[in-house]
Structure 1
């Protein structure tokens, strides 16, 4: 038996209710999907119903109409109901996502437990449990689930509802595996575009992309991921809510807009707003302009305008201070001088500037690589979290998310790897000049950032001043205690290169682990290390609000978040 999706079954049920031709737009509004999605569904549905001698007639200018005898076709109706039961029993999580999506996208309407029970072919008790789960999820965004005799609907500030829709959409994007064809002109990757097109019209997605490209051209700046998708998503949500009559209330905070207004960006936002108003026939108030402005200015546009001095000096100085302070702290933690790393300095500064805007405007971003970063770079991520905590008394960065910190961690991980790869190396060979030169050449090719200080025979090794040598590579076994070395083939095979990388990275990790034991001596304030865990600490941990940070698989620290002045836990 062919399996239809819940949406396709709902589409068939809606068509069965109609006795006249209806345009596709009529059904897209009821199902909260795009025209493109339903056009694709029609082909699948057509193949499915043809097996029961049922057809869908399409008339240009009128719409579509299912055969009038379809409702009396027992085989068709039975198969459809069996299909629906099997589909809706697949996943509780999927059902909850669909109910949540329906509540958020139709916030002006109410539904009932009975309606949801009939729709998903589950008991009313199951729906009650679903709504309890949804109610907890909505609390994160200060949204309430209203339950009255009229039905169930959501209540909350418009800005909070939009944030929750964006968050739900990000979850859907993460889970989306549908295959589709991308339009020829788009910067959105395949799975993301497919997920977006299930909620928004294809024309709207392409239109918003086009006006964002024009904005980029006018400001001479290209938005990078994930900010590009974040911006497009929020503008699409804004338009969808406006079309349904939901505007941001005038009493919601817009004062911050006047503090550091970027005039050039603001002028371009007004131009963008005009295009949206003309396209969709909506009127956009000042609060909506502020809403769109803050997402655009938090996407990195300010970086391109520094030279024009359109950004306040305080903002620029603050970004540089945060960047420099974090590099200083991380240099101390890692026992590596990262202050001279220009790539780190420039890259981190370009991230910090829009990040401070996002924190100021309470804009959250998601890092799709967060899970991998936690697994592979837990020490760097933990130290970045610790650095942020130590900096929080000096800068307003207390509400920074783990996703934001994980992006910062990638800059430091790259810097650490560059530091590891930048070594002053001594090459030791048995005797032959030709083979020693070959080894040195192959080392230079494999590790272009290395400086080959000298090439010596094993007999001359005792004469070499090791003061400025970081590492020794030798084609023969050597007797040396005070310097790290590795023995390789004179031809430097691929396995030798991998062994060298592993040895250097492991040595760096061991050095970091030793430094962890000394961190408590260098800090003031709010840090407890589990290295000296004892029963007396149990009492402290049970009576003080702590934030846990994992520096490695076995090493954790706890940060006291309950004292206003971050006093040391002793």
Structure 2
């Protein structure tokens, strides 16, 4: 608890005063091995401690020496102190409080404790012990625990079992400031098979495919020990968790993790861990580093409610952003809201504990749902802002699927004409299959090649043909006679383009976005060998202009190692940690020759140095992203960017 070396010197000085009628600074310095100046400082501190605790005082006489003025009782107390096995010398208010808390928290589990017993164990007078008890009361209040002094009985803790466990975990992890977690656990919970419990958690880690950080591991270890220790007691103190809370918790991956930990612990023990303990551990895993439970005694229900409220608010924010960017109102899409909410719960767990998760559809989504995946990139910024976790490409792809399904549900009906010389039966089959595959496709008129006239198609959104029409019309989609999956996907992609075009307003960046751009941050026709060279080039300019810290560009590389940022059409959108951004900007580069970016070739790069830290920044980032998606949504549009010859012309193109 105290510094061992300082303790040792204090013990040696006190021993010298007890064994000698008179000592000098020079004598003590020579015997103990410290300078006379250090000896004088330590003697002043020791004298203060002795006087505060009613153990006498050190008297000094210039050019003669020093002696201990203490009676036999006081000397015996000092001797007990320096010969005690724990050798704790109480030096200040904080260390006294910590030492007292250890005994008080232990009392609640195994023994009783009176004020006199506490004072004697700390070598304090009763009045001084009462002052320390008041300090302990203040600390325990943080956890909604009352420390009472009961006449003819002693000290007593008045609290719920939840509050006690939170306080004890916090004390072991934070207050004792010790690397020996095991010793602290066994002090409060003697008789535990700590090795078995630790091995059970490690085994669960391996089976679940992740490595807990030291802090998380120790928290789970401490809470697991509490549950096992309680089950070993004759009079167990129960946790109060309702059936509705248990039902809610069972939806979370964290509950199954806690269940597995206890299952492994009890495999070789004659114990049954109550579901309330499983629930309690799962809540602690669930809330780790995600929300501040505050230790304010609001109970498990409030903690869980707070966590779910955070998720719900985030999902609503995501839907608002997507609605704003796409101009499709999804705010009343209950299916999207519920789907994202249910998906986020296990996703956050996976991200928090770095569990690998592969989405086999990622390749398809990057190829067929480019627009929607680009929208999802904005969500990754929101996700990091709210939860402090970096989302992977595979996870982002799943979110893109939810968004695409919602856009399909909420898009306006599409009218089409099918141009075909096939029989009526085959044409009907094609129409039925298209309607089943494309929800927006409500009306399909059939026309033979002989009767087809483009002038009769002014009222249709889509012209689907099984033969080449030799016409230039953006509405035309050519499919095979039997409509295979490739044909269906071509029709779907054309419908998506139509929906985006119909929702598209005049193409320009809002004036609020103009300050994100500046000619100095636009690099045209650069010649670089790889991604690292380009990002360092841009990063140095951003640092020089004071827009980011020196650490920013490393956070960009860190993100690139986790999540690829190429988005198709030869475009990449790297970005870094918002905490390292001083002023939001967008840096742009076009390259003379494409470079390999992840697994794709890229020659147009937008480094998004954007923030979401307040309402203005969030709104401006959304406005930028809304237009940016339209800026790069086709090869034709990206080719315009590639062709711009100077940074000034590029800047003018963006802000016109």
Same fold (TM over 0.5): no
The alignment's TM-score, normalised by the length of structure 1, stands at 0.41
The alignment's TM-score, normalised by the length of structure 2, stands at 0.36
